[in-house]
């Protein structure tokens, strides 16, 4: 028996776990960045068209950056069949346009802390959907318990002063959860496309096409986006880099790993989002429910990734 093989497998898993954690830390930082962007670009909470333009430019630029990176690596970025381009267009419209329409609107009507924790439901959806789609990615006791714990932590933030005081804002918390479900579904679809299209090229096109659709929709419905300061440009630049790096890396991880092994790291997002929202937005996290919620979601990660799961 080759004793080097288990060590090699262990090393690959550690690299995958580290990359997945990095992606989720970047996504967690997007919550305070987006809300700061609303202030710096002077976008009102009810100005949905301008939010679409803001989101659209972010993803259009991110997609273009990834396609330029692919070109620099001498990868073909326009060698598709009609069917493949149709798949990329559908992926862009769902994973970027529709998903982020709900996400950006929802985040405007909830706090960065709540939004980051609500979005962790995407992990539950990913593992559940993978159970029905992939024969080698079925639910087990550990996965089920981990997802239940994580989901319980997500729901806990909606309780105010007692179990009978449940506060849930559909336009805020509900839209963020709906965005998480759409993202989970689209991610599984993207995993299938990545088997025939390079992940970097796939991510670049879906971000660019989805972002372009958001920009057109935003301007068509009366949206605007004016650059008022260097800080505003810096925020848009950071969100662009965040999207290009995180989405490309995540696509590669999903191509070579089981969904249920990678998806649970989404529970890192609410931890990062909560802490960073407190630091940069001054939001209150010194509440017992937030502490318990974060413990639950982190425990959920541990259970889902427990050996022999």
In the chain, domain spans: 19-304
pTM score above 0.85: no
Answer yes or no: are the C-beta atoms of 191 and 259 closer than 8 Å.
Answer: yes
Confirm if 57 and 152 have CB atoms less than 8 A apart: no
Enter the tokens of residue 238. 């950071």
Q: b vs e for 224-257, b when ≥16 Cβ sit within 10 Å of the residue's Cβ?
A: ebeeeeeebeebbebbbebbbbbbbbbbbbbbeb
Do residues 35 and 112 make contact, with C-beta atoms less than 8 angstroms apart?
yes
Question: In sequence order, what are the beta bridge partners of 23?
Answer: none
Cα gap 206→187, rounded to integer Å:
11
Give the residues across from 159 on adjacent strands: 166
Cα–Cα distance between 54 and 14 in angstroms, integer? 36
Residue-by-residue pLDDT tens, the chain, 309 positions = 444 446 565 677 778 878 888 888 888 888 889 889 989 999 988 898 999 999 999 999 999 999 998 898 888 888 888 898 999 999 999 988 998 888 888 877 777 666 667 766 777 777 778 777 777 667 788 888 888 887 787 777 666 655 544 556 677 778 888 888 898 888 888 888 888 888 889 889 999 999 999 999 999 999 999 888 999 999 999 999 888 888 778 877 877 777 667 766 766 777 787 778 777 777 766 677 777 877 887 787 677 766 654
């Amino acid at each position: 028996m080759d004793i080097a093989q288990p060590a090699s497998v262990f090393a690959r898993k550690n690299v995958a776990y580290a990359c997945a954690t990095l992606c989720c830390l970047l996504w967690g930082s997007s919550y305070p960045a987006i809300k700061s962007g609303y202030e710096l670009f002077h976008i009102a909470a009810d100005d949905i068209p301008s939010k679409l333009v803001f989101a659209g430019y972010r993803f259009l630029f991110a997609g273009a950056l990834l396609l330029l990176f692919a070109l620099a690596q001498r990868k073909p970025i326009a060698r598709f069949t009609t069917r493949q381009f149709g798949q990329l267009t559908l992926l862009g419209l769902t994973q970027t346009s529709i998903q982020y329409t709900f996400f950006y609107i929802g985040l405007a009507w909830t706090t960065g802390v709540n939004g980051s924790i609500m979005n962790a439901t995407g992990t539950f959806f990913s593992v559940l959907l993978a159970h029905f789609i992939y024969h080698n990615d079925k639910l087990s006791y550990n996965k089920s318990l981990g997802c239940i714990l994580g989901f319980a932590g997500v729901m806990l933030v909606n309780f105010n002063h007692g179990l009978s005081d449940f506060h849930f804002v559909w336009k805020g918390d509900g839209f963020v959860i709906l965005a998480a479900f759409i993202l989970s579904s689209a991610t599984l679809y993207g995993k299938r496309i990545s088997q025939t299209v390079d992940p970097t090229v796939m991510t670049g096109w879906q971000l660019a096409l989805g972002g372009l659709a958001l920009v057109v929709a935003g301007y068509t419905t009366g949206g605007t986006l004016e650059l008022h300061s260097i800080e505003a440009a810096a925020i848009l630049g950071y969100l662009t880099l965040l999207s290009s790096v995180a989405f490309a890396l995540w696509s590669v991880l999903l191509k070579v790993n089981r969904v249920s092994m990678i998806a649970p790291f989404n529970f890192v997002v609410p931890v990062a989002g909560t802490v960073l929202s407190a630091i940069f937005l001054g939001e209150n996290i010194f509440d017992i429910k937030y502490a318990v919620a974060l413990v639950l979601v982190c425990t959920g990660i541990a259970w889902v990734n427990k050996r022999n799961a």
